[in-house]
Chain A
Amino acid sequence: MSVTVTAPSPAGVRGARRTGAAPRRRRMLVWVATHALAIALALMFLAPPLFLALTALMTDEQALTSELWPRTWNWENFATVFAKSELLRWTANTLLYAGLGTVFMLVSSVPVAYALARFRFRGRRLAFLLVITTMMLPPQVVAVPVYLIWARAGLTDSLWPLILPMLLGDAYSIFLLRQFLISIPRDYTDAARVDGCSDLRTLFKVVLPMARPAIAAVALFQFFYCWNDYYGPLLYGGVAQEGWTLSVGLATFKAFHSVQWNLTMAATLLVTAPVIVLFFFAQRVFIEGVTLTGVKG
């Protein structure tokens, strides 16, 4: 661990206007110290993707050396990855899993979150506790019987065991949406109800328009979760490469191209890039969504 940040002084440095003792010089020092540290740290955070990209562009021979800068820029590596693996197939599978999974999750989880946040009924808290419990327990706990359910249905060796359950709600998304929906003032929904709106109409006309940022965040999280998921596709993707997702394919990639780090890194880059691009379009949604998970607990 090369970077240790010790005893950071709190945000209140700004407010700490002490009389005497050369405050301006002190503030300058703090400014330099915090910014230099942040810049150094940022470079450490950016180094892995940088070396990843540099190696991805090396020739086979150079990737075996310890040189860091590509002697020639070998852009064909990306084409080689496509040619030598089922990357397109894996991408299609991943998109199917992430896309359908997200749509199914939204259709099923929004109504549940709405009911948990707005209806008063016996066992409401128990239901919420159940949401948190299923969200927190490791998926491996129930892995064997769930696998057997799908095996009996003849659906192992496909991604359906991961996609179909999304039609029955997803605990993490329900939790997040519920946390957001309870923050919508009750007056709005009550007013709509008094005016004679049905539950469904209240949801569509009043709640959903207000909940758009939360729904966007949950959808993005779900999409990313599926895109990155390794455990699920490993269990159900099957042995044939045609059924794999990008995660499973990438995990096996190096074994087939054992010493070719340049190709492995090119494949890694191809798997990662779409996620990063999507993030730059939806940065605010993300950061606000993450904040919601931790703070409004």
Chain B
Amino acid sequence: MASVSHAAPARPGSPRWRRGEGLRALLWLSPWLVGVSVFFVYPLLATVYFSFHRYDLFTLEFAGLDNYRYLLKDPRVVTSAKNTLWLVAFMVPAQVLFSLAVAQLVTMLKAGVGLFRTIFYLPTLVPAVAGTVTFVFLMNPATGPWNQFLAVFGITGPDWFGDPAWSKPSLTLLALWGCGNTMVIFLAALLDVPKHLYEAAAIDGAGAWRRFRSVTLPMISPVLMFSAVTGVIYALQYFTQAMIASRVASGATDSAGSNFIPGYPDESLLTLPQWLFHVGFRDYSMGYACVLALLLFGTSMIFTLVLLRQFRRAEESS
């Protein structure tokens, strides 16, 4: 990020109205600059400061590296890191590939393209809480229709959200259902691929799969990359669906002061943002929560930097 080349300042020969553009820009940007300072830069520095302290909202005492030492011993950090890794390794690829497949399918339709696109997009609009509650109901083993549907094919469905081995795959199904945004982006990219490339490939005798690999994939790879990286960034902040699934499936009320530890069943849905939330705003161990926040910051920053490189390449080529 440091090696940014700056836009040239107004040259002496440029029109009169261009002069002083820097100052005018500063004026236009000032509300946002205040916002970034107050709600981003300062909190980031404060997070580092608090991470060396014990802080429960009332007393603040210096703790040195205690919070960091605790991080290494905290079994829930390992659990939540493993869960996040699972999401990154399975959920993100599944969603990207599924969205691409659905988008590709839509491009092949000759009738009702708009209707199908709308149907596949709709679930994206369903509020995360509502969608998760619905899925916990649908996949509940006793009365939910999903296992009854599977039974038609002679499959005995598991206890989806109640079984630690199946809770994350269940959330992945929810994520596939909500693939609309990514699907629409892929659809636009696929429709942007020049038709003559396919025709040329077909004349050269390339089959359908060969055309997909040699024409479609290279043409849409920037969009693919963009979706994958943003997918990973969102997996790192995965919170609402995991938290709601745990709560609704377990029947627990997570009100302030309760002992409910998120992640039911068996901490299989415990993600780092949830653990951070619990530590900071249920246990009021603000100092330790800040250490977790820095861990989250470091990991997200790595992927954000990858994304920034993508942007820079796209901006330079345009």
Contacts and interface: CB of A to CB of B under 8 A. Distances in A.
B293 A295 contact: no
B281 to A, nearest CB: 7
A63 B247 contact: no
A5 B292 CA distance: 39
Given A127-B29, A147-B281, A120 B17 contact: no
A291 interface: yes
In this complex, which of B7, B227, B296 has the most chain A Cβ atoms within 10 angstroms of its Cβ? B7
Nearest to B169: A1
Contacts of B186: 294
A125 B315 CA distance: 10
Interface residues of B, number: 135
B6 interface: yes
B8 to A, nearest CB: 7
A154 interface: no
Contact of B42 (A141, A145, A174): A145
Interface residues of A, number: 114
Contacts, number: 361
In this complex, which of B137, B223, B237 has the most chain A Cβ atoms within 10 angstroms of its Cβ? B137
B72 interface: no
A268 B227 CA distance: 29
Given A168-B38, A276-B122, A120 B128 contact: no
Interface string B28-70: 1101101110111011101100100000010000000000000
B237 A199 contact: no
B270 interface: no
B164 interface: no
Interface in A1-59: 1-2, 5-13, 15-18, 30-31, 34-35, 37-38, 41-42, 45-49, 51-52, 55
B211 to A, nearest CB: 5
Contact of B310 (A224, A231, A297): A297
Contact of A254 (B10, B119, B195, B248): B248
Interface of B: 1, 4-10, 15, 17-18, 21-22, 24-26, 28-29, 31-32, 34-36, 38-40, 42-44, 46-47, 50, 57, 98, 101-102, 104-111, 116-123, 125-131, 133-135, 137-138, 142-145, 148, 150, 173, 176-177, 181-182, 184-186, 188-193, 195, 198-199, 201-202, 208-209, 211-212, 215-216, 222-223, 226-227, 230, 233, 236-237, 239-240, 243-244, 247-248, 251-253, 255-256, 273, 276-277, 280-281, 286, 289-290, 293-294, 296-297, 300-301, 303-304, 307-308, 310-311, 314
Given A66-B142, A255-B252, A258-B251, 17 more contacts: A2-B150, A12-B201, A12-B215, A41-B120, A49-B122, A108-B32, A125-B6, A133-B1, A136-B230, A137-B300, A140-B276, A141-B44, A144-B280, A149-B43, A228-B128, A290-B185, A295-B189
